[in-house]
């Protein structure tokens, strides 16, 4: 449908359409709040009490050919060693 933008507008129609938009946005906002609350119930917040949970992660001690980068504090293989400072070894990623 073609729209003639030069045609004079009726003020009553504009006010009615604004009121209709206001009502529909209030209804959709309440729907969003309900959805957000339902979604938030499924997530656990950081710092939750997990003392009764069992961990399924096996921790492997640092190997002889690995080092801890003094910049990023990640365990890296010796092939990633760039240089050593007085603070300790630095990996290639942090040296770049």
pLDDT tens-digit map of 40-92: 777 777 777 777 778 788 889 999 999 999 999 999 999 999 999 999 999 99
Q: Could you tell me the residue ranges of all domains in the chain?
A: 11-44, 66-95
- How distant, in Å, are the alpha carbons of 3, 40, 79, 87, 93 from that of 70? 67, 38, 16, 6, 12
Tell me: the pLDDT tens digits for 11-25?
A: 666 666 777 777 766
Residue with tokens 């290639």: 92
């Amino acid at each position: 449908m073609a729209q003639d933008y030069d045609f004079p507008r009726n003020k009553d129609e504009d006010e009615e359409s604004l009121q209709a938009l206001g009502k529909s946005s209030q209804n959709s906002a309440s729907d969003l709040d309900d959805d957000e609350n339902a979604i938030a119930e499924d997530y656990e917040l950081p710092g939750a009490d997990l003392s009764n949970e069992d961990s399924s992660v096996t921790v492997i001690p640092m190997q002889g050919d690995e080092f801890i980068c003094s910049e990023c504090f990640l365990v890296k293989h010796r092939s990633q060693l760039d240089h050593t400072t007085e603070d300790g070894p630095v990996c290639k990623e942090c040296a770049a």
